Structure 1
Amino acid sequence: MFTYIDPGIRQRLADDGKLQRVDADGKPVSSDHEILPGTRSLSILGPIPLPLQLEGKHYQANWYASVRHTELSQVQELADELRERQGQQSFAVMSSSMAVNSVLVFGDPANWDNPLVRVHSSCLTGDVFGSQRCECGPQLSSAVERISTDPAGGMLIYMSGHEGRGIGLWAKAATYLLQDSGENTYEANRSLGLPDDSRDFSDAATLLKYFQGERPFRLLTNNPKKVADLSAEGLSGITRVKHVSGINDANRRYLAAKRDWGHELSPEDLCD
């Protein structure tokens, strides 16, 4: 991902209503609004019409890209400095410093009535490579199908900074080796001195507030902690909907560890 957008283009997108800035409660704020230290705002780019094809099925969604405004400001300052020094070749240092989250919107949010929502943590191995060591890829495809065909509409929020429950791809690779030596997914995290789950859902909560406001919604998840984390960010009216998909021999032990950790999975759910 390349994180820099020329200021003139940014203004044009803002004038066209394609670039919004919102506070932590999902309320629009002006571009010159001062954000106090310790507070948070997001910049949201879209809607961008996005035809999709997943597992041979076609869908139509509107894509929104989202990033924390404070990180955009830091990138802009660096870009100005590099331009002054004619350091164009150094712009690549900005290409991997920001977590750009995505929202896929199905239907018109203004007409949603208790929509179906999935907050999906990024998983390169599962979502892109098709790894069967987890259920992430099938969960992603299933969520798109379920949301896109639900009469109430809904959205999928894709959290790009959540690889390996927040530990990052490099550490995740190490945990796989530890799991192959006999540890489960949580024991492997602890062996590396890392938390069981270090994901931050505050940006997801802000995006939900922006698109859904205070209206109720249904959340596709087997993880009660995700509901608790979003509720702690001020969201209410959340109904958890079980989301089981992609069970196979390669991930059954992994899913059993998630069940023992607190995920709502029954013995029947872990059967093919």
Structure 2
Amino acid sequence: MFTYLNPEVRRQLIDDGKLVRIDSAGHPVAVDAPLAEGQRALNVLGPIPLPLSRGTEQPVASWYAAVRSTELSEVESLASTLRERGGQHLFSELVSSIAVNSVLVIGEPEKSEAPLVRVHSSCLTGDVFGSRRCECGPQLEAAIDRIATDEQGGYLIYMAGHEGRGIGLWAKAATYLLQDAGEDTYQANRSLGLPDDSRDFSDAATLLHYFGAGRKLRLMTNNPKKIEDLRAFGVPNLERVKHVSGVDDCNLRYLQAKRQWGHRIDEEDLSNP
């Protein structure tokens, strides 16, 4: 996972009590103190409010993200190097060392001249926890429903290593705290010194080449950059299919930011959450 935080933001989180370190027994220890050889400790980021849609009560949970302190220290120098080198794909090197992507084949898309496709970026908070801070969970479920009810089905490609548009779960947790302080989702990335979108779609393109077999593909997305990236990797026969779902009072500001930053979401799509 991508674990580097901008030093100024990191210090503010520590001062606010939002970033702490605990030892293997669960006792708080100094965040910046060096660890003894063999000592295990976790850095814990939070709490972060998550309004949930799973279950009948739909509570607002408090989310904490935890990562081993050794992982944080190991990637900081590499993160600095990658930032200096630049490039969308470079930051993804920190999150995809063992990224396992998935393809769901639904129906009989091999018989279709233009199968329906969804390339879905992994989102633990939305897809698994049911967080309503984003629309990822409803988009995933809606994509499965749309493919399943299409005349001949299609493909759902689930991309691991894409958490938080490629920055990883740890940094995504930090952006949530910055969003709660008033920044939008893109401003929060930039405050951490991270790209707006560092996802690498080269594996998705390879899978589309293999399963699409040169056919026209109807890609469910509102993000023109995803189309551009896939085309850059040699997937030319793409038709964009609008895919708006899960609009909610909890994610309305997030979706408005997406619209302002280029996603093909109409104002009327956001008018009745």
CA contact (8 A) 2:109 2:152 kept: no
CA contact (8 A) 1:104 1:156 kept: yes
> Which TM-score applies when normalising by structure 1?
0.64
Query: How many residue pairs are counted as aligned between the two chains?
Result: 179
CA contact (8 A) 1:109 1:211 kept: no
> 2:233 is aligned with what amino acid?
E
Residue equivalent to 2:184: 184
Residue equivalent to 1:194: 194
Offset at 1:214? 1.0
> 1:139 is aligned with what amino acid?
Q
Matches within 5 A, 1:233-252: 233-252=233-252
Residue equivalent to 1:131: 131
* CA distances 1:117-162 after superposition (whole Å, capped 9, x unpaired): 0000000000000000000000000000001110132100000110
Residue equivalent to 2:212: 212
CA distance in 2, matches of 1:178, 1:133: 13
CA distance in 2, matches of 1:192, 1:145: 36
**1:235 partner SS:** coil
> 2:210 is aligned with what amino acid?
Y
CA distance in 2, matches of 1:141, 1:109: 18
Offset at 1:107? 2.4
CA distance in 2, matches of 1:193, 1:237: 35
Which has the bigger relative contact order, CA under 8 A and spacing at least 6? 2
> 1:264 is aligned with what amino acid?
R
> Which TM-score applies when normalising by structure 2?
0.64
CA contact (8 A) 1:114 1:152 kept: no
CA contact (8 A) 1:223 1:262 kept: yes
Residue equivalent to 1:33: none
Which 5+ residue runs of structure 2 have no aligned equivalent? 1-53, 56-95
Offset at 1:208? 0.5
Residue equivalent to 1:106: 106
Offset at 1:97? 4.6
CA contact (8 A) 1:113 1:152 kept: no
Offset at 1:237? 1.6
Offset at 1:253? 0.4
Superposed CA RMSD: 1.6
CA contact (8 A) 2:128 2:137 kept: yes
CA contact (8 A) 1:114 1:216 kept: yes
Matches within 5 A, 1:222-261: 222-261=222-261
CA distance in 1, matches of 2:209, 2:107: 17
> 2:250 is aligned with what amino acid?
A
Residue equivalent to 1:143: 143
Residue equivalent to 2:118: 118
CA distance in 1, matches of 2:267, 2:219: 22
> 1:235 is aligned with what amino acid?
V
CA distance in 1, matches of 2:227, 2:130: 27
CA contact (8 A) 2:205 2:230 kept: yes
CA distance in 1, matches of 2:121, 2:139: 10
Residue equivalent to 2:25: none
CA contact (8 A) 2:108 2:152 kept: no
> 1:237 is aligned with what amino acid?
N
CA distance in 2, matches of 1:167, 1:249: 25
**2:148 partner SS:** helix
CA distance in 2, matches of 1:238, 1:160: 22
**2:199 partner SS:** coil
